[in-house]
Amino acid sequence: MKTIFGVFLNMLFLVKLQTSSVSAVSSRERCPKADDLESLEHLVQSGEETPEPIPTTIKGSIPTWINGSFLRNGPGKFEFGEDKYIHWFDGMAMMHRFHIHDGSVTYSSRFLRSDSYVQNLEKNRIVVSEFGTVASPDPCQSIFARFFSYFQTPQPTDNANVNFVKYKGDYYVSTETNYMRRVDPQSLETKEKVDWSQYIAVNSATAHPHYDREGATYNMGNSYGRNGFFYNIIRVPPPEDKSALEDSADLRGAEVICSIPADEPRKPSYYHSFVMSENYIVFIEQPIKLNLLKFMLYKIQGKSFHNILSWEPQYGTVFHLVHRRTGKKSPVKYRAAPMFTLHQINAYEDNGFLVMDMCCGDDGVVIGEFTLENLRRESGQAMDEFYNSLCRNLPRRYVLPLNVDENTPLDENLITLHDCKATAMKTNPEELLQYGGLEFPQINYAKYNGKPYRYMYACGFGHVFADSLLKMDVHTKELKVWRYPGLYPSEPVFVASPGAAEEDDGVVLSVVVTPRKEKSTFLLILDARTFTELGRAEVPVNIPCGTHGVFNEMG
């Protein structure tokens, strides 16, 4: 039976979004319980570099029109000497490149030579604190020097292990601090460190920027000081003619187009990404809170960053709407029930409404749970208990009325879109639940981001790491699935075929790993339309589970 899954809106003094009674049931409670899950310990072990490209073994066929590199990022080294990281997010960034040309594929990889990596390697211990691990004082220091080191301001890490991003035509690897690293997408060579605060007044930036069709890049970053805590929308202009410019990082012209004050100044929200349509940017202030007092004291207390984040549902969720071209913030504040989101699917405008699709969960406790101890649990009961405790994310649609003013009537449903029955998105969550929910969503971004769309690609989570690939028709809710026991695919990335006329005319790329057999990684190529396998490129290396990736098309 199909169920209402989404939100409806009514007008109070603010615009208030309320989830339907059906979606109030926790997805954790509705998902099938795991039974005898296998251990994933081998997928979170340190990898080894392959700096020079090596050939792969092709099974099936690789379309000859694919010409470029599939670039992946993620944690790849989890210890230095006797010191071991605590959280999966702490691992040193490892970059991977699958270069595809004329039906053949080569593979290479390198660790990012961040300051964090280099200093840790030189000292053969962890000397830079990460998200879930606090670096210990130098044992060679005197007892007084070690004591006073606890009172020094911790320096943000440049261990950019989340994503590949692009500014003015250059590739960078990024995390969620104020530092990025420019990289060569061909050789994976590490280039200069870039500090956002040298260009604009922000203390951090996300690893999930958006790109407009004119070539500009948008991102979000925090700032805090005497005037409070602000969420800032950043715009980096399109690239200039680089023929006369030096080979160096160039963020000149970057500007903050809007600063949004935190709804709770002493407890600002954590966020991983944001929403962008053709004309609007939406910042979602969710109730994963950062305690600023604890933040200032966390090194003294010996606590890592992830320990000062807390899920506080009493604050609910606030949607802040900003016009992308003017930077003007809407005077309307949209409020919703508490929810947690990491990744958005798409957003578009439709007859005076902003439709936003995203992957949402019922609580945000999950971020802190991805410790290496949990991920390395033994097969069976121990792993089952961990997996069953996790919140599962599912696709959810929010619809914001754009034309709200003092004349808008109170207590009246404002959604009149013809395809929004019961003011909500109709779908069949039970079908998705059998795949453990849905995350790491992707679309045909180049052509359909910010526009009405039909297809999305994502990972299903029948295990702690993704164990299936999903294609959903958001019109009919039809699902297509790629899933095989013991195989764990990465985030799917869509690549359009030359001259594609249809939205799903192309391929989907994913890197598949397995804990069952040594050195059995492969690049999977699916026909995006039928979601059937075209071919795979097997590479005799062990690749740790990663985070995000992009396709770098070659001319």
Q: Which residues are annotated as a binding site for Fe cation?
A: 208, 272, 343, 548
User: What is the rounded CA–CA span in Å between residue 492 and residue 506?
Assistant: 12
Instruction: Report the first-to-last Cα separation within the chain, whole angstroms.
Output: 48
Give binding residues as ranges: 208, 272, 343, 548
User: What is the rounded CA–CA span in Å between residue 425 and residue 439?
Assistant: 18
**Eight-state DSSP code of residue 269:** B
Per the CB < 8 A criterion, the answer to whether 234 and 254 are in contact is yes
What is the DSSP secondary-structure string of 11-58?
ESSSEEEEE-TTTTS-HHHHSPPP-SPPP-GGGGS----EEEEEE-EE
Per the CB < 8 A criterion, the answer to whether 7 and 22 are in contact is no
> Distances from the Cα of 251 to the Cαs of 226, 238, 240, in angstroms?
27, 10, 11
Q: Minimal CA–CA distance to 14: which of 327, 336, 322, 286?
A: 336
- Angle at CA 439, nearest 5°, toward 34 and 546? 90
Residues 6+ apart with CB under 8 A from 445: 211, 494
- Angle at CA 294, nearest 5°, toward 125 and 338? 110
Backbone angles phi, psi at 317, to 5 degrees: -120, 135
What is the DSSP secondary-structure string of 320-370?
EEEETTT-PBPS--EEES--EEEEEEEEEEETTEEEEEEEEES-SGGGGG-
Residues 6+ apart with CB under 8 A from 172: 160, 164, 165, 166, 180, 181, 182, 183, 194, 249
Per the CB < 8 A criterion, the answer to whether 128 and 159 are in contact is yes
Q: Minimal CA–CA distance to 313: which of 260, 269, 344, 367?
A: 269
Element (H, E) at 293: helix 292-297
**Eight-state DSSP code of residue 249:** -
User: What is the rounded CA–CA span in Å between residue 162 and residue 333?
Assistant: 31
**Eight-state DSSP code of residue 385:** H
Residues 6+ apart with CB under 8 A from 148: none
Three-class secondary structure assignment of 364-384: CHHHHHCEHHHHCCCCCHHHH
Paired with 53 in beta bridges are none
Paired with 163 in beta bridges are 174
Residues 6+ apart with CB under 8 A from 447: 496, 503
**Eight-state DSSP code of residue 87:** B
Fill in the amino acid letter for 38. Answer: E
